[in-house]
Amino acid sequence: MATSSSNESGPTLPRQRMSRARLAVVISGAGSNMLAIDDACRRGDLHADVVCVISNRADAAGLTHAAARGIPTSLVTPINGESRESYDERLASVIHAANADWIVLAGYMRILSSHFVGEFTGRLLNIHPSLLPAHKGLHTHRRAIEARDAQHGATVHFVTAELDGGPRILRGVLTLRPSDDEESLQRRVQRIEHAIYPEALELLARGRLRQTDAGAELDGQPLVEPLERHFDF
Ligand code: GAR
């Protein structure tokens, strides 16, 4: 863990780091966001390293991709009948063993226990494929089309106990096209995700962004509305 400082309004956080941030990326599937984050680290756009990739699913292709890059991987398979708390304890011990600064949920499809969220509050991020607070939960692209939304996209946010409800950091926005269907939207939104997740993580790695009791704070100022980027992908 890099240098830490505590404060009255928030949890102890790694700040003003001199070394690269250590990212534990938690996935359930293809891992394209994980790869985009790792690419950004390797290019030097993100001052961090992916120190482990963890999956709850053995068939997550992202595990194979990570291993091919030499990134340590861990499979934490749920045991039949196991409580959410017990599973999350095993997940937490892998994160601790990796000495990770930030826990980056990237297509992780399990709900986290409140104990786990509490343990890592301020260090736990997620990307969600919608313009939060719209379309929390699943099938976001279908729901955006059905709602005839003019705009859609993805949001990086801190994770709290409320599903997809934590302080928003950065939204990537696209305009829906008449030709869009669920598949095309998924492709377009994922390209956005691959740009905005590394950008948000770089703010953390540089010590510019943190979570407080009141929400998110950028450069010492409350981030009342998330940052926004517009894409024409
Ligand atoms: C991403 O589109 C991410 O936003 C979504 O899963 C996909 C994972 O893709 N996450 C959620 O729906 C979480 N609620 P990837 O495995 O290729 O990064």
Q: Kindly name the residue from 128, 135, 152, 157 that is annotated as catalytic.
A: 128
Question: Is the distance from the beta carbon of residue 153 to the nearest atom of ligand 1 less than 6 Å?
Answer: no
Q: Which of 128, 140, 152, 196 to mutate to test the pocket of ligand 1 (most atoms within 8 A of CB)?
A: 128
What length does the chain have?
233
C-beta of 29 in contact with ligand 1 (< 6 A): yes
Quick check: CB of 106 below 6 Å from ligand 1? yes
User: What are the boundaries of each domain within the chain?
Assistant: 21-128+154-172+192-223
Contact assessment for residue 153 and residue 161, using Cβ atoms and an 8 Å cutoff: no
Residue 9's pLDDT band, with cuts at 50, 70 and 90, is: very low
Question: What's the CA gap between 126 and 120, in Å, rounded?
Answer: 13
Please state the pTM of the whole predicted model. 0.92
> Who's near 32: CB < 8 A, 6+ residues apart?
62, 107, 190, 193, 194
Ligand 1 centre from 80 Cα, in Å?
Answer: 25
Quick count: other Cβ atoms within 10 Å of Cβ 232?
6
Ligand 1 centre distance from Cα of residue 8 (Å): 34
Report the CATH architecture of 21-128+154-172+192-223. Answer: 3-Layer(aba) Sandwich (3.40)
Active site residue 194: no
Q: Are 85 and 118 within 8 A, CB to CB?
A: no
Shortest-distance Cα residue to atom 10 of ligand 1: 107
- The amino acid occupying position 166 is G
User: In this structure, are residues 56 and 78 in contact, taking their beta carbons and an 8 Å threshold?
Assistant: yes
Q: What is the pLDDT of residues 93-102, one digit of tens each?
A: 999 999 999 9
pLDDT for residue 16 is more than 90 = no
Read off the pLDDT of residues 31-42 as tens digits, 9 standing for 90 and up: 999 999 999 999
